[in-house]
Amino acid sequence: MLRHITALILTAVLAGPAAAQDRAVPLTDGDIKLSFAPVAREASPAVVNVYASRRVADNRSALMDDPFFRQFFGRDLPMPRRERQQNSLGSGVIVDPSGLIVTNNHVIAEGTDVKVALSDRREYECDVVLKDEQLDIAILKIRDGRGDFPALPIGDSDKLQVGDLVLAIGNPFGVGQTVTQGIVSALARSQVGISDYQFFIQTDAAINPGNSGGALVDVEGALVGINTAIFSRGGGSNGIGFAIPSNMVRVVIDQARKGGSTVELPWIGAEMQPVTADIAETLGLERPSGVLITSVIEDSPAEEAGLKVGDLVTAVDGAEVSDPRVFNYRLATKGIGNEAELSVNRDGRETTIRVPLEPPPASAPREEITVTEPSPFQGATVANLSPAVARELNMPYRGQPGVVITKVARRSPAARVGLAPGDVIVVVNGTEITSTEDLAAITSDNPLLWRLTLDRGGRIIRLAFR
């Protein structure tokens, strides 16, 4: 029904699916008077407001805010601990009539109570089914709902082209549901600094705070993206907004339906880097393109498929890749259990290599412990390094054994000396650390001097403490 209505109203704008030759710009007064109202009317009921709240400790006191009181009693007078409610507001999209909702992880990340309000003002409590910080996607499920909720169909974001008309629907600034219109400004934005599997749709449709998690829909009313961020110097829309493509969203929804609480993304066991202008010149390329394989882990899917250091991967399943983030995105949308066909330039010759997509293995037992002994590591949680742990921490894995910091308690000795999640503990007091058992044994000795060697993102750091 929606496709039929849209086809009648937008014939001059978009008369068919995604083929480039079917696209047309408005040329007459009649074309300009065409309305997006039917699309907005059909899509808006599936976009909800998301409210997340939690109780946090508040050490502030009204008395301590009084300069006269502080003058006599100082700042360190013990005060009764209070709690206050912290709220966040965003948007979400119903993608299944049973009440399955997609939103951004940052909208509900710290919330303990999550509610949604529909456009008809019905309100429901929700359970968080799945959330992934790196993808910035969360899946909610309406609790005790009777089902048959309005839902948006999920479109194919790979069919979008720069210049396509899109609508952004959400709840900016908490003022209520709003629809804005624009075009796709760019595709494959991978240098935005928002998530680790970056491949964003850029749009000039107005996106403001509160739109996070809302819908980006095409003129056929299909969900093509989840609005996630804006580029702004003043907090408002400057015509540069970013949305997570629907093809990535579909992967997360499928895993939520299968009962997953986190997203498992493919791992092939190869490290890579983008091709710069200098590298392109060295390789004899006409222009920088593709990703260069810099390391291949032993017994990994990449090694078994035949990938080698120095290989230049130019495309995945025929889609060009420009940097490692785009490469990871292409693998992620293929999904675990499938194969990816890589177009590879090796020594100037083109070849095709098929790589199986597997979950990152826990090649070493995790054996996670929290250090409680007095030491620079006190308050840090550590685990044996493996591809699975490296994926959780968004760090490279080069096949080496080791111990990595996974969490650091606030105000702990470990936090005070500057230790952080992702730090790999290499050497402590001259002893190489290859397991959490090694670290536990050394911290129980309680030496007078601590000499540490850490690997932080490939940079070696040496510290000493008494």
The model's pLDDT over 185-236, given as tens digits with 9 standing for 90+, comes to 888 665 555 455 567 888 888 777 777 889 999 988 999 999 986 654 455 5
For the ranges 3-12, 165-174, 453-462, the one whose mean pLDDT is highest: 453-462
Helix (H) or strand (E) holding 261: none
Nearest of 55, 102, 47, 50 to residue 83 by alpha carbon: 55
Does pLDDT of 67 surpass 70? no
Q: What is the CATH number of the domain that holds 351?
A: 2.30.42.10
Both 333 and 312 in one domain: the answer is: yes
Instruction: Identify the domain boundary among 356, 381, 413.
Output: 356
Q: Which of 2-11, 55-64, 318-327, 429-438 has the highest mean pLDDT?
A: 429-438
Say what the pLDDT of residue 400 is. Answer: 76
246 and 296 both lie in a single domain: no
Q: Which domain holds residue 444?
A: 369-465
Residue 128: the pLDDT is: 92
The number of folded domains in the chain is 3
Most confident of 16-30, 52-66, 160-174: 160-174
Residues carrying an active site annotation: 106, 136, 212
Asked whether the CA dihedral 175, 177, 180, 186 is positive or negative, the reply is: positive
Q: Which two tokens stand for residue 397?
A: 């894995």
Single residue among 356, 381, 410 that ends a domain in this structure: 356
pLDDT of residue 3: 44
Q: Is pLDDT at 62 greater than 70 in this prediction? A: no
Contacts of 387 (CB under 8 A, 6+ apart): 267, 269, 297, 360, 361, 362, 363, 397
Provide the CATH number for the domain around residue 135: 2.40.10.120
Asked whether the predicted pLDDT for residue 19 surpasses 60, the reply is no
**Residue 306: helix, strand or coil by DSSP?**
coil
Q: What letters, b where the CB count within 10 A reaches 16 and e where it falls short, cover 68-81?
A: eeeeeeeeeeeeee
Q: Which residues of 301-322 are buried (b: 16+ CB within 10 A; e: fewer)?
A: bbbebebeeebbbbbbeeeebb
Is residue 362 assigned to a domain?
Answer: no
The span from the CA of 137 to the CA of 158, in Å, is: 19
Higher local confidence (pLDDT), 448 or 168: 168
* pLDDT for res 22: 60
Partners of 116 in beta bridges: 50, 124
